[in-house]
């Protein structure tokens, strides 16, 4: 098991004091059978009142009410958490007892009402273009299993799309990413999510952290990937930026049917034209490897 200490700092600067509207913060990691948050501290300058809730997707969301005007807004999230590196009794990637989930996927009737929300494309005008690209990918490397198709899509996006860090808000549409052949992690995740949905595979967008050398040095940033849902497999994560399956170095903050649903920080401000000067984000991740005994006690 690995114990993480994560410090995520976001700073907005303005040319003059501005008034802040309600801010929505998705900064507390999601917990599960592999992850446990031991402590979470959230601080804002200027000071704010927090109202916590769980949204429709089970994310921990803090609504921040900021009363003072300021030319600077700083948000600092500090987390101490434990992550189990591997579990021997996890569901196998291809379903229970080695069974294979075939294409097209047939979801249990009891799950269809929820699954439908993860099958609906966010860019319906581009669905045909994305479907045509997916068909080409699978024609070059045919797969009759749903998981095989997802793995191939993940590899191709990684190999054919150049990584480009973008500071602009929002995501590129799937067609833009296919045309430019470059994009940020959130752009590649959006393309892969839409690609899976055109095959009838439920998929969701996930935002969080990636444990890397940059984050260890305090120079990391937030990261994005996707998760697909298959019968008897549950939610399985894939990172098209790396071309890999999600592992213990991925720490999820939030998951949603749409990228906008898991923006770590979102909100509004009002002030004179040209007030906004820019923002800075830094993520520092420190880790400590714990022994088996500590893992049993924490579980």
Tens-place pLDDT, residues 123-144: 999 999 999 999 999 999 998 8
Confidence class for position 178, pLDDT limits 50, 70, 90: very high
> What's the pTM?
0.92
Confidence class for position 220, pLDDT limits 50, 70, 90: confident
Backbone angles phi, psi at 262, to 5 degrees: -130, 30
Confidence class for position 99, pLDDT limits 50, 70, 90: low
Secondary structure element (H or E) that encloses residue 122, with its range: none
Q: For residues 221 and 229, what is the distance between their CA atoms, to the nearest angstrom?
A: 27
Confidence class for position 296, pLDDT limits 50, 70, 90: very low
Share of the chain above pLDDT 70, in %: 92
**3-state class (DSSP) for residue 194:** helix
Answer yes or no: is pLDDT of 94 > 90. no
Answer yes or no: is pLDDT of 65 > 70. yes
Structure tokens at 60: 């921990």
- Residue 169 gets which letter from DSSP? S
92 vs 206, residue with greater confidence: 206
Cβ neighbours of residue 128 under 8 Å, at least 6 residues apart? Answer: none
Secondary structure element (H or E) that encloses residue 258, with its range: none
Query: Is residue 79 a contact partner of residue 28, using CB atoms and an 8 Å limit?
Result: yes
Stretch among 15-29, 138-152, 181-195, 207-221 having the lowest mean pLDDT: 207-221
């009759």: which residue's tokens? 144
Answer yes or no: is pLDDT of 92 > 70. no
213 vs 151, residue with greater confidence: 151
Answer yes or no: is pLDDT of 291 > 80. no
pLDDT score of 215 = 85
- E-strand ranges in the chain read 2-25, 35-45, 48-54, 60-66, 70-83, 162-163, 182-183, 202-210, 222-230, 234-239, 244-245, 250-256, 265-270, 276-289
Cα–Cα distances (Å) from 237 to 15, 63, 176, 204, 211, in that order, read 41, 28, 24, 9, 15
Confidence class for position 214, pLDDT limits 50, 70, 90: confident
Confidence class for position 292, pLDDT limits 50, 70, 90: low
Query: Is residue 61 a contact partner of residue 55, using CB atoms and an 8 Å limit?
Result: yes
Q: For residues 108 and 40, what is the distance between their CA atoms, to the nearest angstrom?
A: 37
pLDDT score of 295 = 41
Q: For residues 52 and 42, what is the distance between their CA atoms, to the nearest angstrom?
A: 11
Nearest-10 crossing angle of helices 146-160, 185-198:
150
Structure tokens at 5: 């200490």
């Amino acid at each position: 098991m690995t114990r993480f200490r994560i410090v995520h700092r976001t700073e907005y600067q303005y040319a003059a004091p501005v008034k802040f509207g309600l801010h929505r913060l998705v900064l507390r990691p999601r917990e599960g059978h592999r992850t446990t948050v031991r402590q979470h501290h959230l601080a804002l300058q200027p000071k704010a009142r927090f109202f916590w809730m769980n949204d429709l997707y089970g994310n921990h969301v803090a609504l921040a009410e900021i009363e003072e005007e300021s030319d600077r807004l700083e948000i600092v999230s500090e987390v101490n958490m434990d992550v189990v590196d591997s579990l021997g009794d996890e569901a196998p990637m291809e379903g229970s007892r080695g069974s294979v989930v075939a294409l097209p996927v047939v979801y249990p009737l009891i799950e269809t009402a929820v699954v439908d929300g993860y099958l609906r494309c966010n860019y319906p005008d581009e669905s045909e273009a994305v479907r045509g690209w997916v068909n080409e990918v699978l024609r070059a490397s045919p797969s009759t299993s749903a998981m095989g198709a997802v793995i191939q899509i993940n590899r191709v996006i990684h190999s054919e799309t150049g990584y480009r860090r973008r500071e602009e808000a929002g995501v590129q549409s799937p067609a833009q990413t296919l045309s430019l052949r470059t994009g940020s992690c959130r752009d590649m995740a959006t393309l892969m999510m839409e690609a899976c949905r055109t095959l009838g595979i439920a998929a969701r967008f996930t935002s969080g952290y990636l444990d890397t050398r940059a984050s260890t040095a305090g120079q990391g940033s937030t990261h994005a990937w996707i998760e697909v849902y298959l019968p008897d497999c549950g939610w399985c994560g894939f990172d098209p930026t790396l071309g890999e399956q999600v592992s213990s170095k991925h720490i999820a903050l939030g998951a949603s049917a749409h990228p906008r649903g898991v923006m770590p920080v979102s909100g509004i401000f009002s002030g004179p034209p040209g007030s906004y000067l820019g923002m800075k984000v830094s993520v520092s991740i420190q880790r400590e490897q714990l022994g088996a005994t500590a893992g049993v006690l924490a579980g």
